[in-house]
């Protein structure tokens, strides 16, 4: 297995009063030709990790290999082989799309033509438009074109779709997929679990500067609570957590006041038993739902917290 990125025991503390430990013994392996997602809440250390891998900041300690090389010895070569789309790209609003991408092309000795990069992000019709006249989604695609114009082997995308409308997000996903089809490797960060599930073959869940789980979205979901979630709301005194965990097929359970979330591999077995349990306990059912489990559930299962505050239930 060829690795595009490998890092071991990565550490980074920002000095200050008090110092901020941003990355703490983080390990990561990204296979060549894959789309890998770093998931984690605000402040988890995703951008810091990316900036270390991009050669923008130096770690305090740890081994970093990018495309089989080290930033300490091969910085120039690495810079010519990677593409970067920062979490916030400040491009000149007065320049046209064509001028902007041409400027970025001039930074590289090799690469594709600006026209080709613009076509890859489907902005041919906007080549002569000023950035000030583009939508947020179109600007994001210009930033992507700038990161692509050096024809990189490895692309870093820091929250490529944050703040975009659903249609623009899907356009960015299509671009990412087409790049993977062309043999590129992508490392992206995201708060959106559906994005990770759609795009990434492997993900690492990052919390407090360390990876707390790694695997394919499907394997992680399976391993942390099963494929399905049953959610029930009721009135009355909740049964003990152990009673839910003992239900047939139940893998995990969480009880909060008048609500229970139960992870299961066999909803057809768990659901009737759960309803019976509530009935025997004298609880009255108020609401009931089943759904496919998501990476968000994995995060909640691992940390007891939600990835994004707005997804708090």
Ligand X SMILES: Nc1ncnc2c1ncn2[C@@H]1O[C@H](COP(=O)(O)OP(=O)(O)OP(=O)(O)O)[C@@H](O)[C@H]1O
Q: What does the block give as tokens for 197?
A: 């599930």
Q: What ranges in the chain are assigned the alpha helix state H?
A: 46-53, 75-81, 97-105, 114-120, 136-148, 166-181, 193-199, 217-223, 241-245, 267-281, 295-303
Are the C-beta atoms of residues 180 and 198 closer than 8 Å to each other? no
Are the C-beta atoms of residues 199 and 52 closer than 8 Å to each other? no
Instruction: Find the shortest distance in angstroms from Cβ 172 to ligand X.
Output: 17
Q: Which is nearer to ligand X, 25 or 92 (CB)?
A: 25
Q: Which of 22, 11, 38, 35 is nearest to 211 (CA)?
A: 38
Q: Which is nearer to Mg ion, 151 or 158 (CB)?
A: 158
The count of other CB atoms within 10 Å of the CB of residue 285 is: 14
Q: Which is nearer to ligand X, 210 or 283 (CB)?
A: 210
With CB atoms as reference, the residue minimizing the distance to Mg ion is: 47
Q: Which of 36, 38, 40, 47 binds Mg ion (CB under 5 A)?
A: 47
Q: Which stretch binds Mg ion (CB under 5 A): 47-55, 64-72, 179-187, 212-220?
A: 47-55
- By CB under 6 A, name the binding residues for ligand X: 14, 16, 20, 22, 40, 42-48, 87
- Cα–Cα distances (Å) from 96 to 87, 118, 131, 222, 230, in that order, read 21, 12, 6, 47, 51
Q: Which is nearer to ligand X, 7 or 238 (CB)?
A: 7
Q: With CB cut-offs between 5 and 8 Å by kind, which of ligand X, Mg ion, none does residue 48 bind?
A: ligand X
Residues forming beta bridges with residue 307, ordered by sequence position: none
Instruction: Find the shortest distance in angstroms from Cβ 198 to ligand X.
Output: 19
Q: Which is nearer to ligand X, 85 or 101 (CB)?
A: 85
102 belongs to the binding site for Mg ion (CB under 5 A): no
Q: With CB cut-offs between 5 and 8 Å by kind, which of ligand X, Mg ion, none does residue 107 bind?
A: none
Are the C-beta atoms of residues 125 and 133 closer than 8 Å to each other? no
- Residues in the site for Mg ion, rule: CB under 5 A? 46-47, 87
């Amino acid at each position: 297995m060829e690795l595009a990125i490998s890092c071991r025991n990565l550490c980074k503390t920002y000095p200050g009063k008090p110092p901020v430990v941003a990355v703490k013994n983080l390990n990561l392996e990204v296979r060549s030709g894959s789309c890998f997602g770093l998931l984690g809440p605000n402040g988890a250390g995703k951008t810091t990790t990316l900036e270390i891998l991009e050669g923008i900041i130096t770690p305090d300690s740890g081994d970093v290999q990018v495309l089989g090389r080290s930033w300490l010895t091969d910085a120039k070569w690495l810079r010519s082989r990677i593409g970067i789309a920062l979490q916030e790209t400040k491009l000149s609003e007065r320049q046209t799309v064509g001028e902007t991408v041409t400027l970025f092309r001039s930074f590289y000795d090799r690469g594709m033509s600006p026209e080709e990069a613009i076509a890859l992000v489907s902005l041919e019709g906007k080549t002569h438009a000023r950035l000030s006249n583009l939508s947020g989604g179109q600007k994001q695609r210009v930033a992507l074109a700038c990161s692509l114009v050096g024809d990189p082997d490895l692309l870093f995308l820091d929250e490529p779709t944050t703040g975009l409308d659903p249609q623009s997000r899907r356009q960015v996903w299509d671009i990412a997929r087409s790049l993977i089809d062309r043999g590129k490797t992508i490392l992206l960060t995201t708060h959106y679990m559906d994005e990770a599930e759609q795009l990434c073959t492997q993900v690492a869940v990052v919390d407090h500067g360390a990876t707390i789980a790694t695997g394919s979205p499907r394997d992680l979901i399976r391993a942390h609570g099963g494929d399905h979630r049953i959610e029930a709301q009721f009135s009355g005194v909740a049964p003990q957590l152990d009673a839910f965990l003992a239900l047939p097929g139940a893998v995990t359970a969480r009880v909060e006041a008048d609500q229970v979330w139960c992870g299961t591999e066999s909803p057809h077995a768990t659901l009737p038993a759960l309803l019976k349990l509530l009935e025997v306990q004298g609880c009255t059912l108020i609401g009931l739902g089943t759904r496919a489990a998501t990476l968000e559930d994995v995060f909640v299962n691992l940390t007891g917290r939600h990835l994004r505050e707005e997804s708090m239930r």
